[in-house]
Structure 1
Amino acid sequence: MPKLDPSALHLPARYRQILLALLRQHLPQAEVWAYGNRITDDYYEASDLDLVVRNPSDLSQASDGILDLQEALVESDIPILVQVVDWARLPGSFHAEIEIGYVVVLG
């Protein structure tokens, strides 16, 4: 699994700090990966941030707190759309696609 350097996440530091605070508040036990355009050179300023939440104690179990996190993200000062999905609810083919390249945001 190619885990990329955290600096590969194209998100300004002020928004990264807000994101980390919200993740720690709503998903303290979870592992959170960023994937998609914001970790490649194909991103642009308005690109969405794609996050996948993983339950490290059991990857087949859904993570609690995602709905609260999504609501907090909408209410936050982060000016881009942050899409959050649960690893346990994704098909294996999508797992493989995410594993091609990701950045660990929390975990």
Structure 2
Amino acid sequence: MPEALLPPIHLSPADRALLLALLARHLPGVAVRVFGSRVAGWPASRGVKPHSDLDLAVAGQPADLALASLRADLEDSDLPWRVEVCVLDELPASLQGLIATHGVVLNP
């Protein structure tokens, strides 16, 4: 789906750029989807708050070391909220379906 047709992700351009840089460093070429309250129109969301966390679902089976390094850099970053990083295949099937339908790919 063209980016113009995707629902917006509630991130500032600077926060998005930082996330993309960290993903490129730790998980190059791996698709990552944003899900949850920071995605406009997410089912059952009560809306995004300034300190709402950011939920990311990583495709495939990334190396444990890469995920640990990404999580550490996210925690040490200047992002103003917590980032939850999940492996898509390890989530319940119902949540995987929601992410496939309503999640937004963050990186190309």
TM-score, scaled to structure 2: 0.82
TM-align CA RMSD: 2.0
Aligned pairs for 1:1-107 (under 5 A) are 5=6, 8-40=8-40, 42-55=47-60, 62-64=61-63, 65-107=66-108
Counterpart secondary structure, 1:70: helix
State percent identity of aligned pairs.
35
Q: Give the counterpart letter for 1:63 in structure 2.
A: P
Between the two proteins, the alignment pairs up a number of residues equal to 99
Q: Give the counterpart letter for 2:51 in structure 1.
A: A
Quick one: distance in 2 between partners of 1:63 and 1:91?
18
Q: Unmatched 5+ residue regions in structure 2?
A: 42-46
Please say if residues 57 and 86 of structure 2, whose CA atoms lie closer than 8 Å, have aligned partners that are also in contact.
yes
Superposed displacement of residue 75, structure 1:
0.6
Quick one: distance in 1 between partners of 2:95 and 2:104?
16
Structure possessing the higher relative contact order (Cα contacts under 8 Å, 6 or more residues apart)? 1
Runs of 4+ in 1 over 2 A off after TM superposition: none
Q: Unmatched 5+ residue regions in structure 1?
A: 56-61
TM-score, scaled to structure 1: 0.83
